[in-house]
């Protein structure tokens, strides 16, 4: 089996996301692979009385612009080309799946934080991704 050629790191803007980025960058260097970064802005339902609405377009666009700025700053810090940064809006697993298909990614790297109690019974992004991704998935254990 040939080494990985294109890695995708799913990034959140906190210490856990930075840990994922650091490890993904090391892995990309090890394999001599291309590294892409993805930050997904999840749809945020807004409750308005009895109606449930999605986030207005202008708010979503502003969130995407802010996220793109943060992601580009991370690219510069890691000496990665700016075209490796991707921001999308939707459900995390779906957006990862779409980028994997579009970009020919062969390894997705995500963070995993062990959960306890009731949270351990609920569905988790990394679990869903392992079952649905058309490529390998590496879930990094984060503390």
Average pLDDT over residues 4-10: 96
Q: Which two tokens stand for residue 123?
A: 């569905």
pLDDT for residue 107: 95
pLDDT for residue 58: 72
In tens, the pLDDT along 80-128 reads: 999 999 999 988 889 999 999 999 999 999 987 665 555 444 456 667 7
In tens, the pLDDT along 41-77 reads: 986 555 555 555 555 667 788 889 999 999 999 999 9
Q: Was domain 6-141 assigned CATH 3.40.50.300?
A: no
Burial class (CB in 10 A: 0-12, 13-18, 19+), 49: exposed
pLDDT for residue 98: 94
Rounded CA gap, 47 and 2, in Å? 49
Break the chain into its structural domains and give their ranges.
6-141
What is residue 141's three-state secondary structure? strand
């Amino acid at each position: 089996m040939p080494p990985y050629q294109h890695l995708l790191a799913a990034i959140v803007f906190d210490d856990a996301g930075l840990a994922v980025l650091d490890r993904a960058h090391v892995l990309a260097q090890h394999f001599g692979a291309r590294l892409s970064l993805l930050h997904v802005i999840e749809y945020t339902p807004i409750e308005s009385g009895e109606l449930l609405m999605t986030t207005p377009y202008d708010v979503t666009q502003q969130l995407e612009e802010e996220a793109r700025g943060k992601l580009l700053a991370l690219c510069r810090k890691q000496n990665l080309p700016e075209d490796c940064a991707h921001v999308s809006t939707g459900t995390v697993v779906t957006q990862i799946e779409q980028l994997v298909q579009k970009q020919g990614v062969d390894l997705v790297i995500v963070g995993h934080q062990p959960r306890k109690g009731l949270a351990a019974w609920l569905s988790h992004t990394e679990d869903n991704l392992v079952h649905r991704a058309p490529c390998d998935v590496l879930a990094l254990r984060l503390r």
